[in-house]
């Protein structure tokens, strides 16, 4: 049994490390209410010399204002429906405190195929965002069929980086004791 769990963990780590956040954002999630995390997702083609897929999307992370038994476990929408990695990822997420009491909805817009390489697409998107002085949109990359995992990794990174500020804000509002 331990071999199976170790093997699952190894496989998950391989998948996790195969996706990248090539342009992150410096903003944290709101402590109360909803936060939007817009992104561009660049997914490699499964076939050599085929176009890469570019999508624009946004993740809405909602934290309940009141925690009840009905919203105590995480809820993910539009992430892994019909995906071969869904079982292992949902298993790991459901056992992680970082996701408790959250509703996370991935809203992926229409994707398009671009005949350049992933690196060329990322460079153009970076240039476009720099020109527009846009610092709230991330750029994510992924191998074929792992785009949703890249979005999950981005969302997780924002949650982890937001936690210290969120905890401080909860203390300031009297929801947590001062240490």
pLDDT tens for residues 136-179?
999 999 999 899 899 989 988 988 888 788 777 777 877 667 76
User: What's the confidence (pLDDT) of residue 2?
Assistant: 46
Which H, E and C letters describe 58-122, residue by residue? EEEEEECCCCCCCCCCCEEECCCCCCCCHHHHHHHHHCCHHHCCCEEEEEEEEEEEECCCHHHHH
Work out the angle between the directed axes of helices 147-172 and 86-94 (0-180°, nearest 10): 10
What pairing do the DSSP bridges indicate for beta strands 20-23 and 33-43? unpaired
Domain positions in the chain are: 2-164
User: What's the confidence (pLDDT) of residue 41?
Assistant: 96
Q: Which residue has the higher pLDDT, 10 or 67?
A: 10
Q: Please report which confidence band the pLDDT of residue 99 belongs to, taking 50, 70 and 90 as the band edges.
A: very low
Q: 111 - beta bridge partners?
A: 55
Mean pLDDT of the chain: 79
């Amino acid at each position: 049994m331990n071999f199976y769990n170790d093997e699952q963990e190894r496989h998950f780590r391989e998948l996790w490390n195969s996706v990248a956040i090539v342009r992150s954002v410096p903003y944290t999630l709101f402590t109360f209410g909803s936060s939007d995390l817009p992104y561009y997702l660049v997914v490699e083609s499964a076939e050599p010399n085929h176009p890469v897929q570019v999508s624009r999307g946004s993740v809405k992370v909602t934290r309940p204002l009141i925690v009840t038994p009905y919203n105590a476990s995480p809820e993910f929408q539009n992430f892994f429906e019909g995906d071969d990695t869904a079982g292992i990822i949902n298993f790991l997420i459901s056992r992680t405190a970082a996701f408790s009491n959250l509703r996370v909805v991935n809203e992926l817009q229409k994707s398009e195929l671009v005949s350049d390489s992933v690196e060329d697409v990322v460079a153009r998107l970076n240039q476009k965002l720099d020109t527009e002085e846009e610092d709230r949109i991330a750029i994510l990359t992924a191998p074929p069929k792992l785009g949703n995992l890249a979005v999950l990794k981005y969302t997780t990174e924002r949650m982890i980086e937001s936690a210290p500020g969120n905890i401080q804000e909860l203390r300031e509002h009297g929801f947590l004791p001062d240490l």
